[in-house]
Structure 1
Amino acid sequence: MGKGEDNVTIFWQEFGRPDFGLAKSVQQTADGGFIMAGYIGQVIGGPTDAFLIKTGDSGVLDWMKTFGGSGHEEGTCVLQTSDGGYIVGGYQDGTEGRVFYLIRTDADGEALAGWPKTYANNSRDGIYDLCEATEGDGFVFVGSSVSQHFLMAKVGHDGTLLWEKTFQGPGGGWDVAFSIDPSPDGGYIIAGCDGGGSQNVWVARTDALGNLKAGWPKAYGEGVPLSVKNTPDGGFVIAGNAPDAQGDMDAILIKANASGVQSWKKTFTGARNNELDSVDLTADGGIIAVGGTQSYSTVYDQAQLYLTYDIMMVRVDQSGNTLWQKVIGRTPDCLDAAKFVQNLSDGGFILAGGSNAYPMIAKMDRSGNTVSMGKREIKLTVSETSGTIGLGNASLIAGRGAGSLLFLQQLGAFGLDLLLDVLDDPSYEYCTTSGDSSISPSPGTVAEGDSYTVTMTACVTGSGEDRVEFDGSLGMEVESLDGTLALDGTYTVDLTYYPIDLSFVDDVGLTAIDGSLAFSRQAAGSDISELAEVSPSQPLYIDEDGVLMTITSCSLGITGAGDYALGIAGDTELFELEGISGTLTLNVVAPVVGTDPMTPDSGELFIEAADGSSVTVTVILGDVELSIDTDGDGSSDGTLSGTWDDLN
């Protein structure tokens, strides 16, 4: 828990471990706490139960109740009832297929006598949303009927079905009503998807008995409306998604006036799928909407789309002008999504959804800020303009850039250290597990001008996660030498590695190295300083796990004497990455220093694209924070946290 803008309480809470699940709805309760509904299970793809979670005003768990049997039950919507208890709507999958599912509980979450209730003869799908009846005598919910039409039904406080209405969309397909909101005139507004041919946005106004009002329903083009709210001007706003030209989904907000005439439409595009699942009104007359996005995920796998969602939040004014758009979540391989939002009287808002495949509730301030989620978190403000470097590629760019510092040192030291070991012991064998390594000609006394070739043939060192297999060769020429080259000796040596044609396979995958590298070392016993250089005329190519990095220019100083320092303040490296346009420039602001190369103590690197977009890598005790300036204005648009090991 923490404090945000205007001293608003903020928090981030996850529930259900070690199970998985998702929260679908949340409401603030009369005591200032929150009630949340969704589903939870033990095995992905296995049975699930509907859950009801009650928390205090800081998100700390008061109690959790589950409802279900051996099949699938899910809670999709929740309300606090006038008696202090709760009602949950959702679905149950059983012998009769998927049916409407309603649960009423007391204030402690215990099901009332005679509940849950199912409505097998009326449903084709689950309950997607519900509200208290405007007449005060029950509840009204929406979904899809047995005949696959829009359905609206009312039940009494005891669950008795009082009436149901169905409406057929013009397309003749499977019609689903996703959202309902009571209107000030005692009627209701409902929004759904007309499934005929293509999916189309469908909105209807009814009276208190569910009868369509004259002139309704209305259609608003292709898309799926997932949430609807009445607005103070007598109109309404809907949130959802709509297809783009590439076949992905864009998030949409549509505002209409009291007559249903569209006032404006906002589309939030991205590299992949985006959607807004829930919308609410803010105290200043604006709109807050939340959902999910795949456009900014640092890891994207078409075969595992459920692993690549982040939370998307947008706030607009009453005219549809974007005040801010933010993305938050965790990386890599995490499911983070917001399914419901409620604006609160303190100026903040509460959202419910999932984080890392666990049910989640989060309190935000008015600007969408919340507490830190710890390592590997993503927080981004989406800019109107976006440059080469953004959230979706910042970790790749930072990882290859930062990782190249250690890689250049290790590559430069590789051939030289092997030469030193063979000089010390002519029978030395680098391949500790299997395979062969050799240096030819066999080195005697090394002198300036000598040339050698290092050859690796199925050379394996280590086992398990530490197993590395080398193949290939590198040429090594002694450009200059002062002193005697020997282990723990005092010497200064300048080497050129060319041609390099070397590959290795480790737990990350295949890395292939080609090109040239100049490497110098000044040694006095254990005191070592090194310099790795790449010339634009002879680039170094590093193809790691299918992504080619081309280092076109580099001057990197390295020191080590028990501790080590990668880079010297002011060192630069120019490189290109396959799939990223233009040349990237890495500047060492402060050297990466420590005692263990995999968990450095401190350092700062700045990587900039030609268009001014950049990522700053700050190292603190083995952890890293990436600060991303995607529009090149010199201020951070978001952060991504993790560990140095993540980058390497």
Structure 2
Amino acid sequence: MMRGRSREVKSRKVGIIIQSLWLGIFCLILITATLSLSGCNGGEGGSSGGSSSQDTAQGGNSGSGGEHSGGGGGSGGSSGGEANMGIPSVSIFSPSNNQTFNQGSPVSLSGWAADPEDGNLPGSSLIWRSSQDGQLGSGYFLTTTTLSAGDHTITLTAKDSSGNTQTASVQITITTGSSGQTLIPWEKTFNKLGDDSAFSVQQTKDGGYIVAGSTADSAIYGYVLKLNRMGAKEWDKLLSINNDGEAYSIQQTKDGGYIVGGSTDAEDGSRDFYIVKLKESGELEWEQTLAFEANCDEEVRSIQQTADDGYIAAGYMENYERGERDFYLVKLNKNGELEWQKTYDCSGGYEEAQSIQQTKDGGYIVAGYTYCYDFENLYGYIVKLSSNGQEEWSKILEGDGYTDIKSVRQTADGGYVAAGYTSNMDNLDYDCYVVKLNKFGDVVWERSFGRSDDEEAASVQEIVGSGYILAGYTLSSGTGGRDFYIVKLADSGLIVWEQTFGSAEDEEARSIAQTLDGGYIVAGTRFTAGGNGDFYLIKLESNGKLSTIGSP
């Protein structure tokens, strides 16, 4: 993957004024909601915040085709769920029915609702309650650590604009004993075909882990690995076995299966978006390839299931003839059929989306980099979108002068935390870069930290309680070469603790997630002396250590 690290450009500050056309966006959302409820797909021009977009809206499997809207886009979306006689339809995605949690561990609640008159209901109309502890909060997504011990009926109630209500519920158990998650650290490497790299990891509903990456011999394949909670392999799966490909992002879906995003070779020799739905057992359920245009490269960097049971994927589209690389997003329904696709660029620049998440309002936050010709430098680029892909605002992040954003997540206060790297062009070293934005995209604080050599962050997450956890690599400390670099930050962005893990060879962490026991799972690559790589995974305690035995 091209990283675009030109050492020759000079840093300079550029003031960016982002204006959001709120009235236009509001009207477009009303129009698209009406069209979707009548079973129509449509498109209209429009963009805001200083970037242009290309878009299409389609209702079936798509291989290619996008039309340029010349300054402004929009696309018809589809409202999810079915309703009866004006009563909302309600779904709970997590937790799973009869799931068990340790008391004090995070319990993530997610759900969705819609009806014929209102379409997708806003998060504020979705109320979560516990049969023991009463009202827990509102929204599509909610995390709580304060549930009482015992059995709970978790109920999601949706209310539409006419006052009609509907509920859905699941049963969970909160334990105080050892029957729930037990924190046991471990460290593992895995190799399938000879040269492996891990890019994405998540804890699964059964307490184990799912990992996605690539494995290669004479060809390169997407590779998915399922582990139990002790890090032992349960099953694995090769993807794109007929064409070279990679798997960059994975998430467990509400049905217990998995959605995987990456790339695969196309017949014309280019690369296409490659999206795969697996069953819980790892068997193939469906697969989809997508391209915005023929003879262009498209690769998924991040994918997530959405509140309407569909999927959103983000990456890039590169047209070599025009010399363009843009953010490329696709929205699929639950069967993998294309609902809409869009590209976004910053003043004719060179962009790549590397992280996407659905937000509490049903929209999306997307992050990556832009090499804007107006700026003559590489900068972080964050875009906030509505539920149908209309841009609401965008933000250029300069950092110390040369900046790339690898990961973004919405925070409990409705804002966002993003992480990557930044370079001070005076000393040419790379430092970890973390920025906190409010819900409007304004910078609350930003931090860069590093030592005598390079440090980069690849993944960040807000953690239960307070603060943030990030993972990447360091060249400045550890056992030699590049090492896993894990950093706990306070709410203010100041370092609470930092840990390094590695060997005499190189290790790079690419993904981190907090686990149900309060610890962390980290995935990346360990490079061997011969230059090949292995999946390298570590399960850490809550203090970032592999073991507290003998620790002060």
Alignment TM-score, normalising by the size of structure 2 = 0.61
Q: Deviations over 1:478-521 (max 9, x none)?
A: xxxxxxxxxxxxxxxxxxxxxxxxxxxxxxxxxxxxxxxxxxxx
Return the offset for 1:241.
0.6
Three-state SS of the structure 2 residue aligned to 1:77 is strand
Are the equivalent residues in 2 in contact too, given 1:20–1:359 (CA < 8 A)?
no
Instruction: Specify the alignment match of 1:32 in structure 2.
Output: 207
Instruction: Specify the alignment match of 1:363 in structure 2.
Output: 539
Return the offset for 1:297.
5.8
Say yes or no: does 1:240 pair with 2:420: yes
Instruction: Specify the alignment match of 1:96 in structure 2.
Output: 269
Alpha-carbon distance in structure 1 between the residues aligned to 2:289 and 2:334: 12
Return the offset for 1:76.
0.4
Identity, in percent, stands at 28
Say yes or no: does 1:51 pair with 2:51: no
Alpha-carbon distance in structure 2 between the residues aligned to 1:18 and 1:158: 31
Q: What residue identity is the alignment partner of 2:441?
A: G
Q: Deviations over 1:550-583 (max 9, x none)?
A: xxxxxxxxxxxxxxxxxxxxxxxxxxxxxxxxxx
Aligned to 2:377, which of 194, 198, 217?
198
Instruction: Specify the alignment match of 2:335 in structure 1.
Output: 158
In structure 2, the CA distance between the partners of 1:167 and 1:115, relative to structure 1 (3 Å rule), is closer
Say yes or no: does 1:275 pair with 2:456: yes
In structure 2, the CA distance between the partners of 1:293 and 1:93, relative to structure 1 (3 Å rule), is farther
Are the equivalent residues in 1 in contact too, given 2:201–2:212 (CA < 8 A)?
yes
Matches within 5 A, 1:404-423: none
Are the equivalent residues in 2 in contact too, given 1:101–1:119 (CA < 8 A)?
no
Alpha-carbon distance in structure 1 between the residues aligned to 2:404 and 2:222: 25
Alpha-carbon distance in structure 1 between the residues aligned to 2:466 and 2:428: 34
Alpha-carbon distance in structure 2 between the residues aligned to 1:176 and 1:293: 24
Are the equivalent residues in 2 in contact too, given 1:27–1:79 (CA < 8 A)?
yes
Three-state SS of the structure 1 residue aligned to 2:446 is strand
Aligned to 1:78, which of 227, 250, 271?
250
In structure 2, the CA distance between the partners of 1:226 and 1:276, relative to structure 1 (3 Å rule), is same
Instruction: Name the structure, 1 or 2, with higher relative contact order (CA <8 Å, separation 6+).
Output: 2
Instruction: Specify the alignment match of 1:348 in structure 2.
Output: 519
Instruction: Specify the alignment match of 1:105 in structure 2.
Output: 278
Instruction: Specify the alignment match of 2:405 in structure 1.
Output: 225
Q: What residue identity is the alignment partner of 2:510?
A: K
Alpha-carbon distance in structure 2 between the residues aligned to 1:363 and 1:218: 34
Instruction: Specify the alignment match of 2:88 in structure 1.
Output: none
Return the offset for 1:203.
0.9
Alpha-carbon distance in structure 2 between the residues aligned to 1:47 and 1:118: 21
Instruction: Specify the alignment match of 2:476 in structure 1.
Output: 295
Alpha-carbon distance in structure 1 between the residues aligned to 2:385 and 2:370: 17
Instruction: Specify the alignment match of 1:550 in structure 2.
Output: none
RMSD: 2.4
Higher helix share: 1
Alpha-carbon distance in structure 1 between the residues aligned to 2:381 and 2:200: 22
Aligned to 1:41, which of 202, 211, 216?
216
Aligned to 1:60, which of 225, 232, 247?
232
Return the offset for 1:270.
2.3
Q: What residue identity is the alignment partner of 2:379?
A: N
Three-state SS of the structure 1 residue aligned to 2:497 is strand
Return the offset for 1:75.
0.5
Q: Deviations over 1:371-421 (max 9, x none)?
A: 59xxxxxxxxxxxxxxxxxxxxxxxxxxxxxxxxxxxxxxxxxxxxxxxxx
Say yes or no: does 1:320 pair with 2:493: yes
Three-state SS of the structure 2 residue aligned to 1:149 is strand
Say yes or no: does 1:15 pair with 2:190: yes
Return the offset for 1:7.
6.5
Aligned to 2:433, which of 234, 252, 259?
252
Q: Deviations over 1:293-315 (max 9, x none)?
A: 2222655xxxxxxxx32101111
Matches within 5 A, 1:368-407: 368-370=544-546
Are the equivalent residues in 1 in contact too, given 2:411–2:462 (CA < 8 A)?
yes
Alpha-carbon distance in structure 2 between the residues aligned to 1:298 and 1:321: 25
| Aligned residue-pair number | 353
Matches within 5 A, 1:559-578: none
Alignment TM-score, normalising by the size of structure 1 = 0.52
Alpha-carbon distance in structure 1 between the residues aligned to 2:263 and 2:270: 10
Alpha-carbon distance in structure 1 between the residues aligned to 2:288 and 2:214: 15
Say yes or no: does 1:167 pair with 2:344: yes
Instruction: Specify the alignment match of 2:444 in structure 1.
Output: 263
Alpha-carbon distance in structure 2 between the residues aligned to 1:153 and 1:70: 23
Alpha-carbon distance in structure 2 between the residues aligned to 1:13 and 1:120: 39
Return the offset for 1:256.
1.2
Matches within 5 A, 1:508-587: none
Are the equivalent residues in 2 in contact too, given 1:100–1:120 (CA < 8 A)?
no
In structure 2, the CA distance between the partners of 1:194 and 1:18, relative to structure 1 (3 Å rule), is closer
Alpha-carbon distance in structure 2 between the residues aligned to 1:198 and 1:281: 29
Instruction: Specify the alignment match of 1:582 in structure 2.
Output: none
In structure 2, the CA distance between the partners of 1:318 and 1:120, relative to structure 1 (3 Å rule), is same
Say yes or no: does 1:140 pair with 2:312: yes
Unaligned runs of 5+ residues in structure 1 are 300-307, 373-626, 628-634, 637-648
Instruction: Specify the alignment match of 1:587 in structure 2.
Output: none
